[in-house]
Amino acid sequence: MAFESLSERLQGILKRLRGKGKLSPQDVEAATKEVKIALLEADVNFKVVKDFIARVKERATGAEVMESLTPAQQVIKIVHSELTALLGGVNQRLSVASRPPSVYVLMGLQGSGKTTTCAKLGRLLSRQGRRPILVAADLARPAAVKQLEVLANNLGLPSFADQTAKDPVAVSEAAVADAVKRGIDAVLIDTAGRLHIDDELMEELKALVDRVHPTERLLVVDSMMGQDAVKVAEIFADRIGIDGLIMTKLDGDARGGAALSVKAVTGVPIKFVGMGEHPDALEPFYPDRMASRILGMGDVLTLIEKAERTISEREARELERKIRENEFTLEDFLGELKRLKNMGPLDQLLGMIPGFGKIKELGSFDVGERELSRIEAIISSMTREERRKPWIIDGSRRKRIAMGSGTRIQDVNRLLRQYWEIDRMMKQFGGKKGSRKKGVFRGFPSPFGNA
Amino acid sequence: MLKGDSGITGTFGVLSRITRGLTKTRTGLSNALRGILGQTSRLDEEALARIEEVLIQADVGATTTAKLVDLLSSKMTGAHSKTSANDLYSRIVSVLSEEITRILGENPGLLLTSGVNVILMVGVNGSGKTTTAAKLAYLLKNENRRVILAAADTFRAAAIEQLEAWGKKVGVPVIKHKEGSDPAAVIYDAVMAAKSRSVDVVVADTAGRLHTKSNLMEELKKCRRVANREVKEAPQEVLLVLDATTGQNALQQARVFKDAVGVTGVILTKLDGTAKGGVVVSVREETGLPIKFVGTGEGIEDLSPFDASAFARSLFDGV
Ligand SMILES: Nc1nc2c(ncn2[C@@H]2O[C@H](COP(=O)(O)OP(=O)(O)OP(=O)(O)O)[C@@H](O)[C@H]2O)c(=O)[nH]1
Ligand SMILES: [Mg+2]
């Protein structure tokens, strides 16, 4: 798709800036134009984009370009942190009524995923030791009541479903009254999908809400939504009120700009995200992950920050030189592994780099404490020469190294394989036409292309 | 090949319904573009930026919008002096909607053959496949074709019951298996039933699936193969049901579904809301898939042939 990588495009624009100390207004103008396009392509509402860009401009103009980052990285960092802030607080929980039962009303457009989400939420609450009931108040769509009933049965949850009922307000009221009697502490009401501009149905929902006094009114939003998400959220907020947002269908490849749009216009926290059709696929919302997703860059930012903390500028430069001169040795390999261990599980880390998640061999890079000491033992059983020129390690050397380190020959083989793999990846990502760049993730392939 | 007339005419006031669908949200609202342009009579940077916003807001997407705006400014050079705000406004709308209409191309309607036809309804979760399958069955039935519905969504809870309820309402038989059974087997049975009862069209509802799930896409391919094994031309139509509220991801949906199961056309649903569905312009341009119908409500009659020029103009209507 046209939108390959925001970071690459920024990299291109801000190339001239290397070595300059500050971002000038012109640089920022050029860079934010790219950011704007990226956000629009991610379906963030254009008004939200406008405000957002204004804020980013203000922060970026005159900002020091940190020595450890390229200007492009600096801009991305600012954009990302603003985006994360805007997407809101970490992992907001559902509120609980002081006097049970808590009542949660799920509402939204047709096809946004309310019924499935209702079941998932029931599942989640029951796993937290609460006693939920699923209430079928979608009496409009054919077989919606049945659908909720089946889902509840499959999950072993109670349901309040009457296929002959006609009035969703009456059903909901009855369900709440019933819950009080049965000692149920969470009533989840699945309402019919409706258009925000359908007066009659919005009035009906208003009446429902007025009668059951929900603990939370949850707007369920399809994460594939485009520009219209803002209007929908505004009108629901205005006419009904919203206490929390749930974004669905995030297991696809939508950028999910709608999340930002609805959050920005309602100011209401995003509480959960739907990550699949399975009843367990409801997860807490993480603003930083969402920000990265909207920008289309994996968890690159987390990576920048981790790398910043772990690798000193000097070390990075040295390593860069080594890679450039093809001097990446087994000693460096060991050093990198140790560093990476401080940053978290390697596979997870590499998984954050766009494109890397797909590399299958990653499984074999899972470096635990024990694995690391084994690797250390193996490498220290090598001669200086072997560490610098791993290609000379033949069968008999391998046997000797295994003996010396108290490991098996397979362990030595595996280590060498891993070394070659990383060496290969570094060369591959090391930049085109022989030029080597200073990666964010220095020792490792840079997700940012050439700086 | 026998061209179905469902694309162009209908026995029950199709045209009035399109306009009804498209004007519903328009009434009483000011014209977005006119409002935005105010009394400007010059196509300056400011005006172009506003036009860009209108297109973006209609989900036309940044890339296509940029192209359209470029075209507009090249076509309208020299037009800025001595025009009134009204003239300028109408010229802009006509230039842009002409271009969009051109991109959207002809609506070939349903391309049905003689003998048994199979129409597969495909799309992501919740886009409106089941409802649209029923609407389509109704439309075809009203054209005096013999229709059956096939309940090939065997996955979602109560999906079969949902289609059955529609079948009753439309007055067409529904071929079904148990929940959890093989959807391809349902298609097979439906085609067999169609053959023996000399049915013209099997409209098959399938389970919603995200295009990123390759195993589920394989399942759809199998449905396709089974239909094709039993009837040489089948499936005559594979219709991608797109929700008009969808943003740029629709493009990805169209690409992947087309590659996987040979989509032949798009149905744009939920145009009765405030979303404009502008992403179909890029869908058409990039994948070549024609938009065949639009859904404008939850009722059985709320399906109309897609009219490119009405659609193009509607992108500039009240917000
Ligand atoms: N307003 C409006 N609602 C529609 C339209 N088409 C479908 N719907 C509604 O959208 C919701 C989902 O429609 P379905 O037909 O069940 O969608 P689906 O694609 O079959 O859903 P899954 O099978 O769950 O993937 C229902 O509430 C429909 O009534 C339309 O054109 N306008
Ligand atoms: Mg369905």
Q: How far apart are CA A236 and CA A411, in angstroms?
A: 61
Three-state secondary-structure class, residue A159: strand
Higher pLDDT residue, A320 or A256?
A256
Please check whether residue A97 lies inside any domain of the structure.
no
Q: What is the mean predicted confidence (pLDDT) over A195-224?
A: 97
Any domain includes A92: no
β-pair type (A216-222, A186-191): unpaired
Q: What's the confidence (pLDDT) of residue B146? A: 97
In this complex, do A111 and B279 lie within 8 Å of one another by their Cβ atoms?
A: no
Is the CB–ligand 1 distance for residue B126 below 6 Å?
yes
CA distances from B316 to A298, B37, B244, B307 (A): 36, 12, 16, 15
Average pLDDT over residues B115-130: 97
Has residue A447 been placed in a domain?
no
Name residue B78's amino acid.
G
CATH number of the domain where residue A178 is located:
3.40.50.300
Burial of B173 (0-12, 13-18, 19+ CB in 10 A): buried
Separation between Cα atoms, residue B32 and residue A404, nearest integer Å: 79
CA distances from B50 to A5, B44, B97, B311, B316 (A): 27, 10, 16, 20, 12
Among chain B residues, CA nearest to A198: B273
Segment of A41-50, A314-323, B166-175 carrying the highest mean pLDDT: B166-175
Collapsed DSSP state (helix, strand, coil) of residue B147: strand
- High-pLDDT (> 70) share of chain B, %: 85
Q: Residues of B with CB below 8 A from A225's CB? A: 245-247
Averaged over A381-389, what is the pLDDT?
A: 87
Check pLDDT > 50 for residue A233. yes
Q: How far is the CA of A437 from the centre of ligand 1 (A)?
A: 51
A109 within domain boundaries: yes
Quick check: B126 and A112 CB within 8 A? yes
Which range among A174-178, A320-324, B230-234, B292-296 shows the weakest confidence by mean pLDDT? A320-324
Are residues A136 and A278 located together in one domain of the fold?
A: yes
Q: Domain for residue A24, yes or no?
A: yes
Structure tokens at B29: 């609202």
pTM, 2 dp: 0.79
Nearest CB to B247; choose among A43, A150, A253: A43
Nearest-CA distance A94 → chain B (Å): 25
**Closest residue, chain B, to A228 (C-alpha):** B275
Q: Which residue, among B161, B73, B70, B130, has the nearest Cα to B298 in the 3D structure?
A: B130
**A240-275 CB burial, b ≥16 within 10 A, e <16:** bebbbbbbbbbbbbbbbbbbbbbbbbbebbbbbbbb
Q: Could you tell me if A254 and A167 lie in one domain?
A: yes
Could A46 and B250 be called an inter-chain contact, meaning their C-beta atoms sit closer than 8 Å? no
**What are the beta bridge partners of residue B120?**
B204, B238
Under 8 Å between Cβ of A135 and A160:
yes
Q: Is A86 helix (H, G, I), strand (E, B) or coil?
A: helix
Between B54 and A359, residue with greater pLDDT: B54
Residue A252 has its nearest CB partner, among B62, B166, B212, at: B212
- pLDDT at residue A134, as a whole number: 97
Structure tokens at B261: 């199961």
Facing B56 at nearest CB: one of A42, A227, A277: A227
Among the three residues A229, A260, A295, which one is the final residue of a domain in this structure? A295
Residues A305 and A290 in one domain: no
In short, whether A193's Cβ falls inside 6 Å of ligand 1 is yes
Q: What pLDDT score was predicted for residue A218?
A: 98
Residue B16: pLDDT over 90? no
Answer yes or no: do A118 and A82 share one domain: no
Long-range contacts of A317-326, Cβ-Cβ distance < 8 Å, separation of 24 or more: A317/A438, A319/A442, A319/A443, A320/A436, A320/A438, A320/A439, A320/A442, A323/A426, A323/A427, A323/A430, A323/A436, A323/A443, A324/A430, A324/A436
Same domain, A241 and A119: yes
Report the b/e string of B112-147 with b at 16+ CB within 10 A: bbeebbbbbbbbbbbbbbbbbbbbbbbbbbebebeb
Find which of A3, A250, A277, A358 to mutate to test the B interface (most B CBs within 10 Å of its CB).
Answer: A277
DSSP states of B133-145 as a string? HHHHHHHHHHTT-
Q: How far is Cα B53 from Cα B71, in angstroms, rounded to an integer?
A: 16
The helix or strand, by DSSP H or E, that contains position A132, with its residue range, turns out to be: strand A132-137
Q: Are residues A241 and A389 in the same domain?
A: no
* pLDDT greater at residue B46 or residue B16: B46
Tell me the CA–centroid distance for residue B155 and ligand 2, in Å: 9
Is A247 within a domain? yes
* Nearest by Cα to A9 from A42, A26, A33, A25: A33
From B248's Cα to the closest Cα of chain A, the distance in A is 6
Distances (CA, A) of A17 to A11, A13, A69, A75: 10, 9, 12, 12
CATH number of A52's domain: 1.20.120.140
Collect all residues of chain A within an 8 Å Cβ-Cβ radius of residue B165: 142-143
Interface test with A, best of B243, B245, B300 (most A CBs within 10 A): B245
Question: Ranked by mean pLDDT, which of A319-323, A372-376, A436-440, B57-61 comes out on top?
Answer: B57-61
From ligand 1's centre to the CA of A136, what distance in Å? 17
Token pair for A229: 């998400």
Residue A191 banded pLDDT, cuts 50, 70, 90: very high
Of A47, A20, A14, A5, nearest to A32 by C-alpha is A14
Nearest chain B residue to A225 by CA distance is B246
Domain closes at, from A253, A279, A295? A295
- CA-nearest of B109, B27, B22, B31 to B297 is B22
Does residue B22 surpass a pLDDT of 60?
no
Contact A195 CB / ligand 1 (< 6 Å): yes
From B130, B206, B216, mutation site for ligand 1 pocket: most ligand atoms within 8 A of C-beta: B130
| Cβ within 8 Å, pair A225-B246 | yes
Is-cis flag, bond preceding A25, omega within 30? no
Give yes or no: residues A284 and A167 share one domain.
yes
Interface A–B counts its CB contacts (< 8 A) at 135
Closest CA to B180 of B149, B150, B159, B208: B159
Q: Is B246 in the pocket of ligand 1 (CB under 6 A)?
A: no
Q: Is the CB of B239 under 6 A from ligand 1?
A: no
pLDDT band per the 50, 70, 90 thresholds, residue B78: low
Query: Token pair of A430, please?
Result: 């090391």
CATH number at residue A409: 1.10.260.30
Specify the 3-state DSSP secondary structure of B150.
Answer: strand
3-state DSSP assignment of residue B254: helix
Nearest CA to ligand 1 atom 12: A111
3-state secondary structure of B10: coil
The answer on A254 and A193 residing in a single domain is yes
Residues of B within 8 A of A227 (CB-CB) are 56-59, 247, 275
The beta-strand segments (E) located in chain B are: 117-122, 147-152, 174-175, 201-206, 237-243, 265-269, 291-295, 303-305
Q: How many angstroms separate the CA atoms of A341 and B259, rounded?
A: 42
CB within 8 Å: A110 and B298: yes
Same domain, A272 and A160: yes
Is the minimum distance from the CB of A110 to ligand 1 under 6 angstroms?
yes
How many Cα atoms sit within 13 Å of A65 on the Cβ side? 19
Residue A451 maps to a domain: no
Ligand 2 center to B20 CA (angstroms): 26
A156/A202 same-domain check: yes
Q: Using CA atoms, how far apart are residues B107 and B154, in angstroms rounded to an integer? A: 32
With cut-offs at 50, 70 and 90, classify the pLDDT of residue B50. Answer: confident
SS3 A19: coil
Domain boundary pick from A279, A295, A311: A295
Please tell me the predicted confidence (pLDDT) of residue A380. Answer: 86
* Local confidence band at A375 (pLDDT 50, 70, 90 cut-offs): confident
B273·A196 Cβ contact <8 A: yes
Contacts of A145 (CB under 8 A, 6+ apart): A136, A138, A139, A161, A162, A163, A165
Q: What is the rounded CA–CA span in Å between residue A142 and residue B264? A: 28
Measuring CA to CA, which residue among B4, B5, B7 is closest to residue B304? B7
Does residue B122 surpass a pLDDT of 70?
yes
**A197 or A14, which is more confident:** A197
The per-residue pLDDT for range A319-352, each reduced to its tens digit, is 666 655 666 778 777 776 666 665 544 444 444 4
Per-residue confidence (pLDDT) for residue A451, from 0 to 100: 27
- B107 touches ligand 1 (CB under 6 Å): no
pLDDT single digits (tens) B247-261: 999 999 999 999 999
Q: What is the rounded average pLDDT of the residues B53-65?
A: 94
SS3 at position A434: coil
Q: Report the share of chain B in percent with pLDDT over 90.
A: 75
DSSP code of residue B114: S
Residue A33: inside a domain: yes
C-alpha span between B179 and B195 (Å, rounded): 24
Q: How far is residue A80's CA from residue A312's CA, in Å, rounded to a whole number?
A: 23
Number of structural domains found in chain A: 3
How many H helices and E strands in chain B? 12, 8
Q: B296 CB under 6 A from ligand 1?
A: yes
- Regarding the beta carbon of B272 and ligand 1, being less than 6 Å apart is answered yes
Residues A280 and A309 in one domain: no
> How does pLDDT run across B3-13, given as a tens digit for each residue?
344 433 332 33
Average pLDDT over residues B52-63: 94
User: A445 pLDDT exceeds 50?
Assistant: no
pLDDT band at A26 (very low <50, low <70, confident <90, very high): confident
Helix (H) or strand (E) holding A187: strand A186-191
Chain A residue numbers with beta carbons less than 8 Å from the beta carbon of B125 are 111, 113, 249, 277
In three-state secondary structure terms, B313 is helix
Q: Look at A345 and B110; give whichever has higher pLDDT.
A: B110
User: Residue B159 Cα, ligand 1 centroid: separation in angstroms?
Assistant: 12
Question: Distance, CA B133 to ligand 2 centroid (Å)?
Answer: 9
Among protein residues, the one with the nearest Cα to ligand 1's atom 9 is A110
Q: What is the pLDDT of residue B172?
A: 97
Residues A257 and A135 placed together within one structural domain of the fold: yes
Strand A186-191 to strand B303-305: parallel, antiparallel, or no bridges (unpaired)? unpaired
- Give yes or no for residue A310 having a pLDDT over 80: no
Q: Token pair 């396009």 is at which residue?
A: A37
Domain that holds residue A149: 102-295
Phi and psi at A323, nearest 5°, equal: -60, -40
